[in-house]
Amino acid sequence: MKFHFKNGYLYCEKLKIKDIQDQIPESPFYLYSLTQITENYNAYQTALEGVESIIGYAIKANNNLTILKHLRELGSGAVLVSGNELRIALAAGFDPKRTVLNGNGKTISELILAAEHEVMINIDSEFDLEHVREAAREIGKVANVLIRINPDVDPEVHAYVSTGIKNSKFGIRNERLHWFLDQIQAEPLLNLVGVHCHLGSTIKKVRIFRDATILMMEFIETIRDAGFDLRYLNIGGGLGIDYEKTGESIPTPSHLIDSIRDVLTDDIGLIIEPGRSIIGNSSVLVNRVTGVKTNGNKHFIVIDGSMAELIRPSLYDAYQHIDFIEPVDGEVITYDVVGPVCESADFLGKDRALPTPHEGAGLVVYDAGAYCYAMSSNYNLKMRPPEYLVDNDRLTQIRRSETFEEHMRLFEV
């Protein structure tokens, strides 16, 4: 693990996080381990040896430009959900032909941008097909498309991150598949290259991916029988990570790929869209304790980080592990770790047995790499924090904090 304790202090690679905290003016801040990101990416690459494939990193999980450039240098493709994600992917140097644009509400201008750059586009509905066709005609260029199928496999995760079940807003109605095929066949500017599904996120059972892959291979057969030459099966992302740190064994990319290897055939390339499992455990949010209080029944550690910087616990009741970065020897009490935001939903952790800290003590929320900075807000006019990266014993800033002055400029209209 790139985050580890030595003599009571938490380290990120070779650097003591307390020393970093003492030299950085802002709090909280995000801290990333470059080596962890590299290892996570390499785990997919190793798992996929012998399989023709594209690893499409899901930019929505974390869109820091330095991190994107690093993943691109490692050989990653990218998975996009907006025109701006395509723009940042281009800025990071990704080959757009190895990217996929997903989404149930892509706008015509986003589709035109994607088609211009030869991004593969996922068709999500009847109107989406019409919009892709319109975009392709507008620029007079063939659009490479996939059909997003809803395999109706339950990923057994929180309802908010479950996407591949029948009642989801994503994907086509499978009974209408032949309508989509007819439309594509009749339009020379639409080139069907594959099928896509995404089951959900934080998935901990590879059996779920296997079930979906078997179903998707049946769809591929049906579509090939209708006369299409499909190149890709895109099985989406969704592999979970070890948020709880209880010693539970979490499947690795190798477990995932090995579980579907015998279902795949040589004549189909695999696209996989991992976000969380590439970036999630590479970062911690580093905070300072503002104070400790009690209401008689409950005890609270109040920190300077909040739901504005890290909303997953508030939004999904998600567990993210919390620890001090330095020795703290006060009495161990069951605490809620909360932020300063004026809202009861503002908590980072509930019912945690932690030693009572002194004011100013450093506290981290682990596994903050995926869907944390990316989902941050300015609620209560908190400015987004800076991001720092550790590579072995070297610290670099990879995003500066937002400032109040920048914020005020938005009103200069």
Where in the sequence numbering do the catalytic residues fall? 342
CA dist 265 and 100 (Å) reads: 22
Residues 6 or more apart whose CB falls under 8 angstroms from that of 245 comprise 321, 366
Binding residue count for ligand LLP, defined by CB under 6 A:
22
The nearer residue to ligand LLP, 273 or 326, going by C-beta atoms, is 273
Minimal distance, residue 27 CB to ligand LLP, in Å: 23
The nearer residue to ligand LLP, 21 or 376, going by C-beta atoms, is 376
The contact pattern for ligand LLP, residues 219-258, with x = CB under 6 A and - = no contact, is: -----------------xxxx-------------------
Minimal distance, residue 122 CB to ligand LLP, in Å: 8
Helix (H) or strand (E) holding 259: helix 253-260
Q: Which of 72, 106, 198, 382 binds ligand LLP (CB under 6 A)?
A: 198
Q: How far is CA 309 from CA 185, 215, 270, in A?
A: 47, 39, 35
Q: Which of 194, 251, 274, 339 binds ligand LLP (CB under 6 A)?
A: 274
Q: Which of 312, 328, 346, 365 binds ligand LLP (CB under 6 A)?
A: 312
Select the span of 35-43, 274-282, 327-335, 336-344 touching ligand LLP (CB under 6 A).
274-282
Q: Side chain identity at 209, as an amino acid letter?
A: F
Residues 6 or more apart whose CB falls under 8 angstroms from that of 353 comprise 332, 333, 334, 335
Residues 6 or more apart whose CB falls under 8 angstroms from that of 351 comprise 334, 335, 336
The nearer residue to ligand LLP, 21 or 283, going by C-beta atoms, is 283
Task: Tell whether residue 102 is a contact of ligand LLP (CB under 6 A).
Answer: yes
The contact pattern for ligand LLP, residues 363-392, with x = CB under 6 A and - = no contact, is: -------xx---------------------
Q: Which of 77, 151, 155, 275 binds ligand LLP (CB under 6 A)?
A: 275
The nearer residue to ligand LLP, 145 or 239, going by C-beta atoms, is 239
Q: Which of 85, 124, 128, 273 binds ligand LLP (CB under 6 A)?
A: 273
Task: Tell whether residue 272 is a contact of ligand LLP (CB under 6 A).
Answer: no
Contacts for 107-113 with beta carbons within 8 Å, 24 or more apart? Answer: 107/83, 107/131, 108/134, 108/135, 108/138, 109/83, 110/82, 110/83, 110/86, 111/135, 111/143, 112/138, 112/139, 113/83, 113/86, 113/87
The nearer residue to ligand LLP, 21 or 201, going by C-beta atoms, is 201
Minimal distance, residue 266 CB to ligand LLP, in Å: 25
Residues 6 or more apart whose CB falls under 8 angstroms from that of 315 comprise 160, 375
Concatenated DSSP letters for 61-129? G---HHHHHHHHHHT-EEEESSHHHHHHHHHTT--GGGEEE--SS--HHHHHHHHHTT-EEEE-SHHHH
φ, ψ of residue 241 to 5 degrees: the values are -130, 175
Q: Which of 15, 37, 48, 58 binds ligand LLP (CB under 6 A)?
A: 58
Measure CA of the first residue to CA of the last residue in the chain; give whole Å: 48
CA dist 413 and 406 (Å) reads: 13
Q: How far is CA 175 from CA 53, 166, 225, 233, in A?
A: 29, 12, 16, 19
Q: Which of 79, 114, 230, 365 binds ligand LLP (CB under 6 A)?
A: 79
Q: Side chain identity at 129, as an amino acid letter?
A: L
Select the span of 12-20, 268-276, 292-300, 398-406 touching ligand LLP (CB under 6 A).
268-276
Task: Tell whether residue 276 is a contact of ligand LLP (CB under 6 A).
Answer: yes
Residues 6 or more apart whose CB falls under 8 angstroms from that of 229 comprise none
The nearer residue to ligand LLP, 28 or 200, going by C-beta atoms, is 200
Minimal distance, residue 297 CB to ligand LLP, in Å: 30
Minimal distance, residue 23 CB to ligand LLP, in Å: 30
Minimal distance, residue 170 CB to ligand LLP, in Å: 7
Minimal distance, residue 184 CB to ligand LLP, in Å: 20
Q: Which of 161, 212, 286, 302 binds ligand LLP (CB under 6 A)?
A: 161
Q: Which of 24, 410, 54, 16 is nearest to 236 (CA)?
A: 54
Query: What is the binding site for ligand LLP (CB under 6 A)?
Result: 58, 61, 79, 102, 161, 163, 198, 201-202, 236-239, 273-277, 312, 316, 370-371
